[in-house]
Structures are given as structure tokens and as C-alpha cells.
Amino acid sequence: MIEFQPVTHESIGSLKEIINSNHEFNILSEGHLELTDEEILEMYESSKSQGAVMNFVVDGGQSVGVIDYLMENPSDKMPWLGLLMVHSDYQGQGYAVEALKKYEMLMRDRGKQRVRLGVIKGNDHALKFWTNRGFTFYEEKIGDKWTVLCFEKLL
């Protein structure tokens, strides 16, 4: 059974290891294979400054992934799942599905009726994962760095 444990400033090295094990995502989102210490720190600090919750997905004391979410996005007052990423060594073992179920239960327990997330256009692997888990497309947004496909799921 997995648990969520907070990412702290002291555990940024573990965050970097998880993020940098996912080269395909890094190329799509940042344009290069691995993020620098500064980019990882910026990701962490940006999450904190927005009021997001960033947790490791932990199994038996081992951090196997990371989940980052906002309880309420200021722009639409909805909960948003910003990132769910499993270390490449642990992909295909059900950790993402289990983490999603835990997240959805947490949102239901807090009275949320639906959740939203964005997928970078071109991230076909993520697109398939989310649509297979009941998320439906509702809008495309063009941003500074990429186009995001927005999805939501009723809980």
C-alpha cells in the first residue's frame, strides 16, 4: 500500500532522480533530457508558492514517484492535479493507478466532486493513461511554452 509523504527542501535530490528518469517528458516539457538542480529547485519553489501540495509516492519506504496538486486553482476554483510521475524504474507496476486512486479518495473526502488536469499536447502516453481512467477532454489552452489539453473527471 502506497502513502504520500511531503517533498521537502532536504529531499530535492530524490525529486530530481524521479523527474530525470523520465527523459521523454523532460524533452516535451523543458526541451532537454535532464533538468538541472536549479530547474528542480524552481519546480519545487513554484509549487510551494502556488499553494500546491507536492508529495512523494512512497512504497515500503522507497520513493517511487511524485504527485503535485492544487486543492483549488484560483482561476476556476477547481482542484487540479499538476503532476503524477513515477520513476522509470517503477513504471508498469501499478503505482500511478494506485496513486491516482488515493488522490481521488482524498479529493472525495474533502468534498470535491470533480478534478482537473492538463496534458501537454503531444504527450500521447499520458493522454492514453488519463483517458483510460475516465478523464474527459474539455478545452485546449495555448500557453507560452506549450499547448495544454485540459481534462476533468467526475468523482
Tell me the C-alpha to C-alpha distance, in Å, between residue 151 and each of 11, 120, 134, 137. 30, 11, 10, 4
Nearest-CA neighbor of 64 among 11, 18, 119? 18
Which residues on neighbouring strands pair with residue 148, listed in sequence order?
120, 141
Which residues on neighbouring strands pair with residue 66, listed in sequence order?
56, 85
Grid coordinates of 148? 495544454
Render pLDDT for 2-27 as a digit per residue (tens, 0 to 9).
Answer: 999 999 999 999 999 999 999 999 99
CA 44, 42, 34, 104 torsion: positive or negative?
positive
Q: Are strands 114-120 and 80-86 parallel, antiparallel or unpaired?
A: parallel
Q: What are phi and psi of 32, to 5 degrees?
A: -150, 160
Please give the Cα distance from 123 to 24 (Å, whole number).
Answer: 9
CB 26 within 8 A of CB 34: yes
Render pLDDT for 82-114 as a digit per residue (tens, 0 to 9).
Answer: 999 999 999 999 999 999 999 999 999 999 999
pLDDT at residue 56 above 90?
yes
Query: What mean pLDDT, rounded, does the chain reach?
Result: 96
Give 145's pLDDT tier (boundaries 50, 70, 90). Answer: confident
